[in-house]
Amino acid sequence: MEGILAIWQRDVIKFFRDRPRILGSFAMPFMFLILFGSGMSGAMSSMMGGASPDSPLADFDFVQFMFPGIIGLTVFTTAIFSSLSVVQDKEFGYMKEILVSPISRVSIAIGKVLGGSTVAVIQGLMMLVFVPFIGVSISFLMILKLIPVMFLVAFTLSSIGLLIASTLKTSQGFQMVVQVLIFPMLFLSGAMFPLNGMPAWMNVLVKINPLTYSVDMFKKVILEPANMAPALREAMGLNLTIFHQPITFAGEIFVVAGLGVVFVVLATMKFSTMEA
Amino acid sequence: MDTIIEVKGLKKYYKGTEAVKGLDLSVHKGEIFGFLGPNGAGKSTTINMLSTIIKPSEGHAKINGFDNVKEKNKVRASIGLIFQASTLDEKLTANENLKLHCKFYGVKKSLREDRIQEVLEIVDLTDKRYKIVETFSGGMKRRLEIARGLLNYPKVLFLDEPTVGLDPQTRAHLWDYILKLKEKAGITIFLTTHSMEEAEICDRVAIMDHGELIALDTPDQLKSKVGGDIIHVSTEANQAAKALIEERYEAEVTEDGEGLSFRVENGSKLLIDFVKQFDIPIKSVNLRRPTLNDVFLQLAGREIREENVSTKTSGNRNLARRGR
Ligand SMILES: Nc1ncnc2c1ncn2[C@@H]1O[C@H](COP(=O)(O)OP(=O)(O)OP(=O)(O)O)[C@@H](O)[C@H]1O
Ligand SMILES: [Mg+2]
């Protein structure tokens, strides 16, 4: 147990010590939110037909729409990339120090996943600094709800990352694989634009993409679709269905947690077979 | 004498290569046991098997009474391990590296502070405790690694080429620490090296080549087995000189970049005659006692490290004396 904690603690200490990384982590969200989001919002609104002030879609604000997606993007990428440290530890030798110690491989894997998840949650929370600039209102209660959701999502993504990291030997390899994986997942998750009227095959990809459910959870917490006009909700792509049934928040938790369990088990198994 | 490591028929195959071909040996409690051999001899592979990092293909070993395959965690808890390449986290401070190690090895909370102070003192790094390791010199990093290896009060400390890449002064210092450790803590030290001078300091040396032990004894015993003295001579015409020596003294002559060496009984007497009678002009000549390199040369038919031959002799003596 203390072993898990030690592994976790190391990742957290190193996160806070790496100032450039923390600052850099604002760059992507900033670009998406301010440059891409604000730049696109006019076009998006007119596409929505929201030009007329009394249409229910006049309320559509692309930047607001994107904000939960940006939190998602931050959490996903931080969590999955956190496992880069596993590959780097192999490259720089520290993995040997860990692997030869009497702590079990399972504890190491769990510690790593928890460390990555914690860091991802912290980064996700840091994105809330954008709140005052984009006109979403976020209550304290929302933040309290957001934290466990972020953690759950981060846990699943960290596990996927660890699974990849356990099979690869170089950081370049890891970065390549993760980038190739994460970008399509992001674009097909509804984080960047509403997923309406897509071709059927793409819709299938959307529905098997775990990020879809993760992003939707963030949207449900932050945008509170229950209080929206139905047409607006539809336009924002908030009526996610699975097998033609609306999926509930609890259902999404179940899906993401289930995937998390599967991946953490796979990752731990793979990690345990690693030679020092 | 008590035995702390007992190795029986230890083997390791990799695809195509047999890295270690059936090793039998025992290490006594409290001794410095050196593992000498050229690159690729199988030294690291052996250390890795003894310290449970890799699984032997055959055979087994007992370390501190525990089996290296069946009781991995017990073995790990009783050893300290310093690898050939650094395994510190350089982004963390010395203190953090040590604290983490205590946690990994389950050192009791109440003991940690004392232990950390103690090991830092041994390696003279007390004032660097809260500095980031990245800012340390190579020698300081090595010392920190050794300190870390001592935190769990290991019964055996495994060191894989502890001084490789260090300057002669740091090397000497490090050896002081290692010897101090042996005296103070009474721990057994098992180290690998391909440096003769380091092997000379050990209580016993095992010489390994191509995955096999070719000799195991104290450095003095090993050298006395070679016997006699070594004459090293450099002449105007080394090829002719070689033939001449072979004919006149019936000695086996080996060449290196600078000249020829051969072994004779009672060298100091013979040297005078040799110089007087030799027909080919001599550039330089010297006489020395056999070193472990000569032992290896005799047993394996080649030098341990070709490029190192000529510069080695002087350094040898100095370091070897420190150990006595
Ligand atoms: N993981 C591996 N896969 C295949 N062959 C290996 C592996 N590790 C070591 N070997 C081979 O086993 C042999 C012994 O290697 P080892 O690292 O034990 O040598 P060494 O005595 O430590 O050498 P050095 O002085 O260079 O450190 C070498 O021929 C090496 O190529
Ligand atoms: Mg080696």
* CB neighbour list of residue B254: distance below 8 Å, 6 or more residues apart: B260, B261, B262, B297
pLDDT at residue B170, rounded to an integer: 75
3-class DSSP state of B25? strand
Assess contact for B41 and B209: CB atoms under 8 A: yes
Worst-scoring range by mean pLDDT, A44-53, A123-132, A253-262, B192-201?
A44-53
Q: Does A2 touch chain B (CB under 8 A)?
A: yes
pLDDT tens-digit readout, B154-166: 899 999 988 877 7
The whole-chain average pLDDT of chain A stands at 87
Q: Average pLDDT for residues A197-225, to the nearest whole number?
A: 88
Q: Average pLDDT for residues A42-49, to the nearest whole number?
A: 70
Query: Who lines ligand 1 at CB under 6 A?
Result: B 14, 17, 19, 37, 39-45, 84, 194
ipTM: 0.85
In whole angstroms, what is the distance from residue B208 CA to residue B215 CA?
A: 7
pLDDT at residue B304, rounded to an integer: 65
Q: How far is CA A145 from CA A81, A131, A141, A142, A150, in A?
A: 24, 16, 6, 5, 9
pLDDT tens-digit readout, A60-76: 778 888 889 999 999 99
Distance from Cα B19 to the centre of ligand 1, integer Å:
6
pLDDT band with cut points at 50, 70 and 90 for residue A52? low
Assess contact for A50 and A58: CB atoms under 8 A: yes
Q: CB A226: neighbour CB atoms within 10 A?
A: 8
Higher pLDDT: A48 or B50? It is: B50
Kindly calculate the radius of gyration of chain A based on its CA atoms and give it in whole angstroms: 19
pLDDT at A43 over 90: no
Give the phi and the psi of residue A273 in degrees, each rounded to 5.
-85, 0
**Is B87 close to A18, i.e. CB distance below 8 A?**
no
Q: Which residues of B touch A99 (CB under 8 A)?
A: 53
pLDDT along chain B (324 residues), means of 10: 90 90 92 90 92 90 92 88 90 96 93 93 90 92 90 90 78 81 83 85 91 90 83 87 85 82 83 84 87 80 53 37 36
Token pair belonging to A184: 């399509």
Q: Does A56 touch chain B (CB under 8 A)?
A: no
In whole angstroms, what is the distance from residue B53 CA to residue A234 CA?
A: 57
Residue from the list B48, B76, B86 with its beta carbon closest to the beta carbon of A101: B76
Q: Which domains, from first to last, does chain B contain?
A: 3-222+306-323 (3.40.50.300), 228-289 (3.30.70.260)
In whole angstroms, what is the distance from residue B104 CA to residue A98 CA?
A: 7
Distance from Cα B258 to the centre of ligand 1, integer Å:
31
pLDDT at A179 over 80: yes
Q: Which residues of B touch A13 (CB under 8 A)?
A: 92, 96
Q: Does A13 touch chain B (CB under 8 A)?
A: yes
DSSP A189: T
Q: CB B250: neighbour CB atoms within 10 A?
A: 9
pLDDT tens-digit readout, A6-30: 999 999 999 999 888 888 888 888 8
For a substitution probing ligand 1, which of B43, B55, B304 has the most ligand atoms within 8 Å of its CB?
B43
**Is A102 close to B104, i.e. CB distance below 8 A?**
yes
pLDDT at residue B313, rounded to an integer: 37
**Is A92 close to B90, i.e. CB distance below 8 A?**
yes
Token pair belonging to B69: 């395959």
Nearest ligand (C-alpha, residue B39): 1
In whole angstroms, what is the distance from residue B242 CA to residue B304 CA?
A: 22
Q: Which residues of A touch B86 (CB under 8 A)?
A: 92-93
Residue A63: left if φ>0, alpha if ψ -120 to 50, beta else—which one? Answer: alpha
Dihedral sign (CA A12, A16, A21, A25): positive
pLDDT at A252 over 80: yes
- What ligand 1 atom has the least distance to the C-alpha of B15? 4
Q: Which residues of B touch A95 (CB under 8 A)?
A: 87
**Is B76 close to A100, i.e. CB distance below 8 A?**
yes
Distance from Cα B40 to the centre of ligand 2, integer Å:
7
pTM of the predicted structure, to 2 decimals: 0.81
